[in-house]
Each structure stands twice: as C-alpha cells, then as structure tokens.
A and B are shown apart, each in its own frame.
Chain A
Amino acid sequence: MKQPEDTRVVVGMSGGVDSSVTALLLKQQGYDVVGIFMKNWDDTDENGVCTATEDYDDVVRVCNQLDIPYYAVNFEKEYWDKVFTYFLDEYQAGRTPNPDVMCNKEIKFKAFLEHALTLGADYVATGHYAQVRRDTDRVEMLRGEDDNKDQTYFLNQLSEDVLRKVMFPLGHLPKEEVRQLAYDHDLATANKKDSTGICFIGERNFKEFLSEYLPAQPGKMMTLSGEVKGDHDGLMYYTIGQRQGLGIGGPGGPWFVVGKNVQDNILYVGEGYHNDALYSDGLLATEINWINETPLEPFTCTAKFRYRQKDSVVTVYPQSDMTAKVVFEQPERAVTPGQAVVFYQDEVCLGGGTIDEIMKNNQYLDYVG
C-alpha cells in the first residue's frame, strides 16, 4: 500500500462546499491532492456571464487556500452526447430521465476518471455522500452515513472496477459537519448555497428550459376511462404522480397524473392521492448494473424507486441481458418509467437499473407510458 504522500488523488471540484471539504480532508490526510473543475455545460448568457466562471473562481480560491494545484477540463461534448441527448430522448419518449445517474456513469466516473488517470491519479474523489468499503479483493459501495444525504441512488451504475479507484471522503459525515468543517477552515465556499435541481438547468424554470430544446405538443388530458378533463401543455412537462399544474377545477379532486399515451399525445389523470391507477406491484428494470457479482437466482433485498425514498422490500428475478423483474412486497405509488431502481442489501448498494415497465398483477401497465 502506497503512503498517502505518494498517492495522487484527483478531486472533482464543482466550486461547492462538499467538494471543497473533500479536498480539505484529503489534504489533511496527507495525500497528493489535485483539484479539477469539470465544465460540462455552457450557460453563457447574452451578457457573457457564465456560472461556470464563478464556480471555477471558487475552485481556484479554495485550492489556493489548501495549497493544491488546480486545473479545468472540458467535457461539454461528452456531456452533450452522453447525458443531454439521453435526457432529451427520454423526455421525448414520455419518460422521466435521471441525468445525474447518467452524468455519474458517463462523465464523472468515466471521462473524468480517464482524464485523472492520464494525470497519474491513483484515485479520484468526489463530494458524494456514499462510502467505499475495501476488503482484500472486494470493493463495495455503502450508503452515506447521513441517510438524508445518501447519494448511492445516483451512483448505482458504478462498477466494482471503477470503485477501486474512487474515494468518497464525505461518506461518513453528516452534512452539517461538512458545512462546519468548511467554516472552521474558513474555506471560500463555506457560505455557498447548495445547488439544487438539475445542474444544467440550475435555477431556471424547467418548463421554459425544456421548451427550448423540444417542441411542446399540447393535447388532451383525460381519465383512463376516456373522460376529457382539459388540455395539457405537452407530455414532457408532466411526471407520474404529479399534482401541480394540471388546472382541473370543479368538485372532487385533487387530480394527479397517472399515465401518458405518447402515441396519441394523451395525459392520463386520476382523482385522489391514493388513486388505484397510481399503484403497482412490480416493474421491469433494464440496463442493470450489478456492482459486485451478477445474481443468477431470484433474491430478496430492498430497493428505492426514487431519490430519498425509504427502502421497500422487493424480490428480484434476474433475467437475461441485464434486465430483471422486480416484485414489490407492498404496492408502491407512482413508480415512474425512466427513473432508476436501486437495490440494497442492508448498507450495501448492489447496483441498479432503469425502470422500463410498470406492472400490476403480472401485467404491464401500458397506460403509465
């Protein structure tokens, strides 16, 4: 095992407090730390102002405080080709994609990792709230200690080989402590607000953003039995289980999105939070990545169908070519195609896949989309 001072760790720095503290902790542990800012998206506005410039400036200030070298790398093309194109394709197909999962898979732990390796990196590190457990040969990904911040959901596509080269120095810390460390060390980003939402959209209006890239096709909003309840602005603006923005008045309600018919451009709505149409008991997952060994036999574990959701007990029936049928112990509400399903055995993240089909009583729920 190399000594820390002989171990080069390249930190992906966003200019936020988490990656700043990541670099701080590694520096304190004596590693040969290099900070790299990734520019994945060009949001330069008409005044020539670009948030990446501000963020990079924060990276520079923090790295100078820590006395580590810093550089930038541009992955705009990779991001566009691998993440944004997927993002648009999924919306166009009426699904709700998860660009963060794809960004981790294709950019942070692929393009960036490869770049770091060309710089002689032994490890890359990020400010994700997840943990890596290394035994002699086996490397596992564990949930972040702070259950509220755990980000393994977004990291489900990482392989064991990739994890061998990864460090998550914040994984054992609660968020408040990370913020406190930044204060204690007077880091330039100590007071910086956490970023929210999808990185390339930032604080902008989601609907407005999407309409710049995809033509909105307004259509009818109706119940599953065919009763027209109004018009929708374009299927891509809605996700399963959504209540806001439907504008259905009258007695009864509230109304929720229960499905989409992309072919006929219909948005299906149903009345009541617990509308039966929102409930399912299984799903078909595709593009599954198993972090450690690939299971061949059915097994029981827990799963998340969306970020920050509590785990649910499921039985996984592995099928050929990285797909699996997942059966829920209890019916689940608003499981959404395009989102990730991520599997856990206690603290260990086993991997995950894309929710492709929703099932009930062993039938595909075609209306969901």
Chain B
Amino acid sequence: MEAIYLDHAATTPMHPKVIEAMTTVMQDTFGNPSSIHGFGRQARKLLDQARRVAAQSINANEKAITFTSGGTEADNLALLGVAYANQDKGKHIITTKMEHHATLHTAEHLEKQGFSVTYLDVDDAGHIQLDQFDEALTDQTILVSVMMVNNETGVIQPVEEIGERLANHQAYFHSDAVQGFGMIPIDVEQMQIDLLTVSSHKINGPKGIGFLYAGTEVILDPRQHGGEQERKRRPGTENVAGIVGFQQAIELVNEHRYENYETYANYRKQFLNTLEDEGVDFTVNGDLQKTVPTIVNISFPGANVEAMLTNFDLSGVAASSGSACTAGSVEPSHVLCAMFGEDHPSTTNSIRFSFGLANTDENVTKAAQKVAAIIHRLTSM
C-alpha cells in the first residue's frame, strides 16, 4: 500500500532539482564563505547568488536577507530582535491569536519580559478585523506581526491593509509568510512589510534553512553573537548547501507559481468533490474563497481527531490536525479555538489536508475515497 501524502503544510518533499543542486555543492564546494582563499570565494559566490534570488523573490534589497535555520528562528529573530532593540520607543506589540507558535510563544515570552501584547481576535471565517487592529494600535506600539496565510486554515490575511496603516507609524511590520510564499506574489515594498519570514522546507527545499527579510533600516538586536556573517544579524558559518537548495526551491516555486496554483486548486476541488460525491457530511473551516489552494481544513461532525488521524494513517493517508497531539495531550488547535470558541465541536473533529508536489489527480481522488470510507465507518459506529 503506497501512502498518500496530504500534509504539505507540515513539510514538503524535496524537488529533485533541489537535491541535485545541493549534491553538487556538497561534492564541489566545501569552503567557508568567510575565508579569503579560493575555496572560500567559491562558496561565497554561491551564497551571494542565493541571497540575490531570495531578495528578488520578494522585491527586496539583498542586504536585507538574513539566512536562518528556518521559520521559527526567523520569527524569533524578528520579534525578539525588534522588541529588544526598540523598547525605548514603546513596549507594545500587536499580533493575532492564530499565529504559528513560533510567533505566539515568542510574544508570550516578551510579555514576561515586560512588553505588552495585543492578540487580535479571529472571526469564524478565519479573518482578523481591521477595526480591532486600528483600536489596538497606539503610539507605544513598536511591532505588528500578522501572518500572511494561516497554516491551519489557509486563510489569507489582510497584510497589505496593515502595511498601509503602518506606513506612517513607528511600528515595524513583520509578516510570517511561511505558508504564503510560493502561492501569493510578495512585494515587500508594495506591501510595506518591514520584516518577513520564509521557510525552505515548505516549498520543496531542504529542512533547516529559511530567511528573515528585515529592511536595512530596521534596527534589530541579534539573538546570537559570533562572527561577521549575515551582517552580524545572525552570525555562524553559513549552511551553504542548504542555502543553495533553498535558492533552487525559490526559483522553482516562483517559476511555476501560476501552474502550481492551478494544479493545487484542482486537487483541492477534486478532493472536496469526491467527499461530496461519497456523501460525507463535512464543513470547511475558514473562508474558502480567501484561502491559498494548498490547504483545506475540514470539520467532520460526529468524528474525532485521534480516531480519524490514526485510521487515515493505517489506511495510507497522511494528514494532520492543528493540534499537536504527540503524547496524547488533547490540545485543540489554538487557531480553531480562536475562530469558534474552545468548546465548539469543530475544535475536536477537524483535519487539515494540504496539497503539493507529492500529489496527482489519481492519488488525491483515492485519498478522498479512503477518507470518505473511514468517516462513514467512524460516524456510523
């Protein structure tokens, strides 16, 4: 039985061209980019090229790109870096209740350090309300962090509107674009974004690499100290092979953005249509009209997350729930709780399916059929 992967929002398979590019680097270019000799220069050249590709992908200056170990580190660097470096201007931060834990838990940490944080509500369609944002913004606000696309529902957030509102405000605007990059065209100038997080392994690149865009004017306190790498914003010998793989992934995802969008939207449609055809009772969580096509979050009334996920896996369908139920702890998804309230049944009967490189029309349909059979079995028991 070949398992079908419907969890691309968790991580994605590496593209063969990425593997090829990385293999070449690992074979041919072992130098330290900071070294003054030829070995070093060869590596530095690759690093510069990758930085340029990363910068161009969001219409940014190369100097504003800091490679990190991934999305979590980039979010931490953005929040902690801005907060600590700018606390003389105020100690207020605005974010949302649906952010990834990399942002949420960092914001909570900052609260313990004396910062005050406003967590914007999320409505039952998965959106924040700009009115509430306007009310929350004060002259003490130094940072606003709003994700571009929610990782559990796929709902696209009003990033441009917030950028606009902050154009003449001291607060820096950070957006975690981990789930949006590759699907939504990003222009940090036009969107007036000061800091932006991107992760490689969500776009068919290797794990352990990502970048933070932070405009050169952004004052940022580094979180680690060492050499001169990454303009001292993130010292440490660079992960050259990872960065080159990331570069390749960025190139591929941008080159094929329109066709990918189309393909994944079709997969999702196909998936939902099959569930309907099979007579499954379900509702989609979040405003489907305002989502990226890679993600759909579905509530199955009368079923339970643990039983569904276990059954899916045993029958060869890999999906996930927002809650990390690693050790059997029932921690309902904070995103769904924010949308519906903690006691709402959708917080315990919802599954996220996410589409990507590992899918085909056939395997998406087959997966939907398997899911339908399991849901029928579980809800009739």
Q: Which residues of A contact B (CB under 8 A)?
A: 34, 36-39, 42, 50, 52-53, 55-57, 69, 71-74, 76, 115, 117-120
Contact = CB atoms under 8 A, between A and B. Distances in A.
B306 A74 contact: yes
Dominant secondary structure at the B interface:
helix
Contacts of B36: none
A72 B327 contact: yes
A133 to B, nearest CB: 30
B327 A76 contact: no
A55 B327 CA distance: 8
A56 B328 contact: yes
Contact of A39 (B310, B313, B328, B377): B328
B130 interface: no
A326 B313 CA distance: 50
Nearest to B315: A120
A52 B378 contact: no
B370 to A, nearest CB: 13
Contacts of B325: 72, 74
Contacts of A39: 327-329
6 contacts: A39-B329, A50-B329, A52-B328, A69-B313, A119-B314, A120-B314
A73 B328 contact: yes
Nearest to A56: B327
B85 interface: no
Nearest to A8: B314
B233 to A, nearest CB: 30
Contacts of B313: 69, 71
Q: Count chain A CB atoms within 10 A of each CB in B307, B309, B377 and give the residue with the most.
A: B307
Contact of B330 (A37, A56, A74, A119): A74
Contacts of B311: 118-120
Interface in B326-343: 326-330
B314 A69 contact: yes
A228 B310 CA distance: 60
A37 B310 contact: no
Q: Count chain A CB atoms within 10 A of each CB in B330, B378, B381 and give the residue with the most.
A: B330
B314 A72 contact: no
B327 A73 contact: no
Given A37-B328, A53-B327, A56-B328, 8 more contacts: A34-B314, A37-B327, A50-B327, A52-B328, A71-B306, A115-B307, A118-B377, A120-B311
Contact of B329 (A52, A69, A118): A52
Contacts of B309: 71
A63 to B, nearest CB: 13
A75 B328 CA distance: 9
Q: Count chain A CB atoms within 10 A of each CB in B313, B326, B327 and give the residue with the most.
A: B327
A118 B327 contact: no
Ordered nearest first, which 6 A-B pairs have the shortest CB separation? A39-B328, A72-B328, A56-B327, A74-B330, A71-B310, A53-B327
A60 to B, nearest CB: 9
A99 B30 CA distance: 61
Contacts of A55: 327
B328 A119 contact: no
Interface of B: 306-307, 309-311, 313-314, 325-330, 377-378, 381
Q: Count chain B CB atoms within 10 A of each CB in A57, A71, A120 and give the residue with the most.
A: A71
A42 B329 contact: yes
B273 to A, nearest CB: 26
B306 A119 contact: no
A74 to B, nearest CB: 4
A74 B314 contact: no
Nearest to A37: B328
Contacts of B330: 74, 76
Contacts of B377: 118
A39 B314 CA distance: 20
Nearest to A55: B327
A36 B328 CA distance: 10
B328 A38 contact: yes
Given A71-B306, A118-B311, A56 B381 contact: no
Contacts of B327: 37, 39, 50, 52-53, 55-57, 72
Contacts of A71: 306, 309-310, 313
A337 to B, nearest CB: 34
B193 to A, nearest CB: 33
Contacts of A120: 311, 314
A118 B378 contact: yes
B15 to A, nearest CB: 28
B125 to A, nearest CB: 29
Contacts of A52: 327-329
B241 to A, nearest CB: 27
Contacts of A34: 314
Nearest to A115: B307
Contacts of A38: 328
Contacts of A56: 326-328
A24 B62 CA distance: 55
Contacts of A73: 306, 310, 328
Contacts of A115: 306-307
Contacts of A117: 381
A119 to B, nearest CB: 6
Q: Count chain B CB atoms within 10 A of each CB in A34, A42, A50, A74 and give the residue with the most.
A: A74
Contacts of B378: 118
B175 to A, nearest CB: 29
Contacts of B310: 36, 71, 73, 119
Contact of B307 (A69, A76, A118): A118
